[in-house]
């Protein structure tokens, strides 16, 4: 007597029509969808259809491990995929990771393949374009094609050299009128060229850019609402001027060793600021204090600060010696992760006295001693001065008002009673 299949034995996936399976696979990451081709001949056929209809494509050169044939196979796969795609099948997102391809490709294939790829993507109306693992020099002929894709709304570019000796890097008229999000890593010889580019991006709202060892730099834009600037250090005494009347979110990240630049400017609409600053030295205190003054009208402030491991003894990161911190009249939410040694804790107490509208406060003590290069650096010098010697303090619904003095006394009691024993 035949037995009916149990609930677990019914293959409901295979019973679906091909059209529905193609739609399901098209929403999967392309590499995950590719793995389904080993299930059966049917799924191998379905995956071929996904290549032709998926709204999102990824071409990852690292997926081709053989050195001699990796570049050629990568080019063949990408060309066949795009050539077989009907113009009626619009392309929403295209991601290219080109590190291995560029390593093993010839200059001839490089000069012909990439322009073809972007021209085809342009004809398919691509809206999101992400490029990783390569760079664009001033003589590159690919960037003008990218900047002519009128359908783009998101663009991420690595290592673009902007210098004063070339006019061919960007076309004279930028067609990216729909671009809302731009991420770019710049090596700037002529900062005015970046401002000239931004002035033509009339819909730009999100801008993220990384600066290397650059000269004094100024940025002006009327439409940017969210800005992330990554600094790897600048030449001595350099400044960054930001004139951004529409910016609501400012994220500053510094992870260099050349010195934190002084950042000034005008951001009257700023609501939230994020400062992620590492490898700070005593000479950077003035720049940090200037940055706090620049953003003192923000309503939400998040700071992740870390001293350079080469610094033997603690120093006040947030303020220049002999100077006071600015007022924070509108600050409602403060989140700080740093080493709350004696000097930093005093600075935080001073900041709280200037932020009477505060509603929530989160303080996290964090210090790295294992990577210290100086054996004289001891844990006692960098101990937590938070109440009860804690590693984390979190307060909500503060609404200090008339109780501000009592709160300052409670939070600051450790600072007034603990003395750091310095070991030489």
| Rounded CA separation 217/21 (Å) | 52
Between the CA of residue 327 and those of 297, 309, 359, what are the distances in Å?
Answer: 8, 30, 16
Smallest Cα–Cα separation from 183: which of 144, 153, 157? 157
Give the span between the Cα atoms of 305 and 277, in whole angstroms.
5
- Binning pLDDT at 50, 70 and 90, where does residue 164 land? very low
The β-bridge relationship of strands 226-231 and 217-220 is unpaired
CB 162 within 8 A of CB 128: no
The answer to whether residues 264 and 219 touch, using CB atoms and an 8 Å cutoff, is: no
Q: Which residues of 305-316 are buried (b: 16+ CB within 10 A; e: fewer)?
A: bbbebebbbbbb
Per-residue CA distances from 407 to 203, 352, 357, 412 (Å):
46, 10, 13, 8
| Structure confidence by residue, pLDDT tens digits, 252-277 | 999 877 788 889 989 999 999 999 99
Angle ∠(91,94,95) on CA atoms, nearest 5 = 165
- Residue 218 clears pLDDT 80, i.e. is over it: yes
Q: The whole model's pTM is what?
A: 0.80
CB 381 within 8 A of CB 422: yes
Is a pLDDT exceeding 50 seen at residue 337? yes
What band does 294 get if pLDDT is binned at 50, 70 and 90?
very high
Q: Is residue 169 predicted with pLDDT exceeding 60?
A: no
Percent of the chain residues past pLDDT 70, beyond the cut: 66
Q: How far apart are CA 369 and CA 357, in angstroms?
A: 35
**Tally of CB atoms within 10 A around 41:** 8
The C-alpha atoms of residue 58 and residue 29 are separated, in whole angstroms, by 8
Q: What is the mean pLDDT of the chain?
A: 77
| pLDDT at residue 377 in the model | 67
**161: helix, coil or strand?**
strand
pLDDT of residue 106: 54
Task: Check: CB of residue 247 under 8 Å from CB of residue 224.
Answer: yes
Per-residue pLDDT at 227: 96
pLDDT at 63: 67
**Cβ atoms < 10 Å from Cβ of 424:** 6
**pLDDT of the residue at 48:** 64
pLDDT at 78: 76
Q: Are 44 and 22 in contact (CB under 8 A)?
A: no
Answer with the residue of higher pLDDT: 366 or 216: 366
pLDDT 10s digits, 54-103: 777 887 777 666 555 566 777 777 777 777 777 777 888 888 887 666 65
The neighbour count for residue 77, using CB atoms within 10 Å, is 15
pLDDT band (50, 70, 90) for residue 419: very low
pLDDT value at residue 152? 94
What are the CA-CA distances from residue 245 to residues 44, 118, 234 (Å)? 53, 34, 25
Note the pLDDT tens digit of each residue in 104-154: 555 444 557 788 888 888 988 999 999 887 666 545 677 788 888 999 999
Statement: residue 295 has pLDDT above 90: yes
> Per-residue pLDDT averaged across 328-333, rounded?
93
Distance in angstroms (rounded) separating the CA atoms of residues 232 and 259:
8
What is the reported pLDDT for 108?
Answer: 44
SS3 state at 268: coil
Of 76, 201, 82, the C-alpha closest to 149 is 201
Q: Give the separation between CA 246 and CA 265, rounded to whole angstroms.
A: 13
Using the Cα atoms of residue 240, residue 241, residue 244 and residue 247 in order, give the sign of their dihedral. positive
> Which pLDDT belongs to residue 342?
85
Where does the pLDDT of residue 420 fall: very low under 50, low under 70, confident under 90, or very high at 90 and above? very low
Q: Which of 95-99, 235-239, 283-287 shows the highest mean pLDDT?
A: 283-287
Strand partners, 392: 364
At residue 421, the pLDDT reads 32
Rounded distance between C-alpha atoms, residue 149 and residue 179, angstroms: 10
Give the pLDDT score at 248. 97
Alpha helices in 54-128 (DSSP H): 67-83, 99-104, 107-123
* Cβ-based neighbours of 298, under 8 Å, separated by 6 or more: 250, 270, 271, 272, 273, 328, 330, 331
Residue 386 or residue 410, greater confidence: 386
Q: How far apart are CA 185 and CA 230, in angstroms?
A: 9
- pLDDT of 256: 75
What pLDDT score does 166 carry?
47
Q: Please report the pLDDT score of residue 416 as a whole number.
A: 43
210, HSE (Cβ side, Cα atoms, 13 Å): 14
């Amino acid at each position: 007597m035949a037995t009916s299949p149990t609930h677990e034995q019914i293959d409901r996936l295979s019973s679906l029509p091909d059209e529905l399976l193609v739609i399901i696979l098209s929403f999967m990451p392309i590499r995950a969808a590719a793995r389904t081709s080993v299930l059966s001949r049917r799924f191998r056929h379905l995956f071929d259809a996904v290549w032709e209809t998926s709204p999102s494509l990824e071409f990852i050169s690292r997926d081709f491990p053989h050195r001699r044939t990796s570049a050629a196979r990568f080019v063949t796969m990408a060309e066949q995929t795009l050539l077989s795609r009907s113009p009626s099948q619009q392309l929403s997102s295209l991601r290219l990771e080109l590190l291995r391809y560029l390593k093993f490709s010839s200059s001839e294939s490089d000069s012909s393949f990439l322009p073809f790829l972007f021209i085809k993507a342009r004809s398919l109306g691509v809206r999101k374009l992400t490029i990783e693992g390569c760079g664009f020099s001033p003589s590159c002929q690919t960037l003008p094609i990218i900047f002519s894709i009128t359908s783009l709304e998101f663009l991420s570019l690595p290592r673009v050299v902007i210098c004063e000796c070339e006019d061919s890097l960007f076309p004279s008229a930028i067609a990216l009128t729909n671009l809302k999000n731009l991420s770019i890593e710049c090596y700037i010889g002529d900062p005015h060229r970046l401002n000239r580019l931004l002035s033509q991006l009339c819909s730009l709202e999100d801008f993220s850019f990384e600066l290397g060892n650059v000269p004094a730099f100024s940025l002006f834009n009327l439409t940017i609402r969210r800005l992330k600037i990554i600094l790897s250090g600048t030449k001595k005494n350099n400044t960054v001027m930001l004139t951004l009347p529409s910016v609501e979110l400012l994220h500053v990240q510094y992870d260099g060793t050349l010195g934190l630049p002084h950042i000034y400017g005008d951001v009257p609409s700023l609501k939230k600021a994020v400062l992620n600053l590492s490898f700070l030295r005593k000479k950077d205190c003035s720049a940090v204090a200037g940055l706090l003054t620049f953003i003192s009208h923000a309503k939400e402030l998040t700071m992740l600060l870390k001293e350079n491991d080469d610094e033997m003894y603690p120093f006040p990161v947030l303020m220049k010696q002999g100077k006071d911190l600015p007022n924070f009249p509108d600050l409602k939410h403060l989140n700080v992760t740093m080493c709350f040694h004696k000097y930093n804790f005093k600075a935080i107490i001073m900041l709280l006295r200037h932020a009477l509208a505060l509603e929530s406060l989160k303080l996290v003590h964090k210090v790295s001693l294992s990577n210290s290069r100086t054996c004289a650096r001891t844990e006692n010098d960098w101990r937590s001065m938070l109440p009860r010697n804690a590693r984390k303090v979190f307060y909500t619904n503060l609404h200090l008002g008339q109780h501000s003095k009592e709160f300052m006394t409670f939070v600051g009691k450790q600072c007034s009673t603990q003395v750091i024993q310095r070991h030489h």
